[in-house]
Structure 1
């Protein structure tokens, strides 16, 4: 490596991605249910209003229910008419597919991919949820496969964390992918594989740490009354995330679902959405 290359590497290593804070505008919320019992529906709606008290008392609620919205076309038309800032619903709305825990249901799948509106996926009202679920948002977790620079994700996670609550910013580097690249590196004589393993791992974990440090600094400057917790590690992403969510009794999980390069749901979003049926998921 030439001295110029060394200088460039040192310069790039010192460069940090800084967080820029902004607050999402959520003034209108659409709640979609298919409950036929009027009292049951009323109680569920009230529960969700209380759960999302963090949005403020001035939030406009639009409750969509009944057979008029059974078709996807009718539902999309309602979304276009009301233009909500947030859509709340649950898996397999207008479907009995909840009996098989392999999908989210056609209505929800179409909503997540055809509308830019964030979707809050709630536990089904007819299924038993953990004791801490749907009570408040004092323990929120934001997850992504690339946390550094994802200001949009942090904006929503911060906004949904209630005062004096905890926001967990997590980054789990995929250990399987890392090992595959390291095994390839070990086959190249010109590369010191031991040094490569140590330095690459260090840099992969350092970047999200620096970004979270920037987030913490900015939120403190904004005097936002929430506590930021950092979780950065390597491992099997799906298993680690599930374990962390259980360990910290997370009330709300915030994650990205849209991918500019494909129609399908982004990265880990789909397996997490299918398997984590007991807690609300804010899908951006």
Structure 2
């Protein structure tokens, strides 16, 4: 595999340095990493009015705290605005594993039957992500829902004969079937599949508030119900190999609104 860091070299270092300078002089008290796939929290200046991030309104808690995140493919610059105050954020590039397969064609297109079955599943996932709870889990330091060997990194991607495939949208933790899965932070269960989805298998989703949510794929069982509050560290299910999986593992994916983010950046070292 070829890591993107090797290609970016000194340019990545300059971008990271720029992001660090921007964070240090932040009018919004930003903390976290201004990097593709990363998450930051901040405090809106008192009396500054509504907050927008790249032109999109951002909710602000009663104490002024808020959360923003950067998609895996976010551009190098983002803008945070509150009334007459604004801040330009330099977004550092992510360190993605890129595997180039120049002689292999991309996987064939899905069948009509798969597409027919997939449509209602995607609609259900979208509806779940459209819900919004008042959970304060987004304020917490996240923990790993399962611990083991990292078998798949967020953002990794294969390029087939020059044509990029879909990138890996979460982090995979290899564990045997039945190994416990716990809530990485407080939240509300927004989807708990009663039957396996075509790709995700038994799928569980938790909303942590402020548009931040987690998805746990390929489970062998789910121990919580939709609408139930989950506390950090609470048992929520078990590792499995349901759906499209070559072996038992936990796939943990996270999104903030439409931005796909790297769970490992929130959970830190295992």
* Shorter-chain TM-score tier: under 0.3
- Which of the pair is proportionally richer in helix? 1
Structure number with greater CO (CA < 8 Å, separation at least 6) is 1
Q: TM-score, normalised by structure 2?
A: 0.27
Larger radius of gyration: 1
- Which of the pair is proportionally richer in strand? 2
Q: TM-score, normalised by structure 1?
A: 0.26
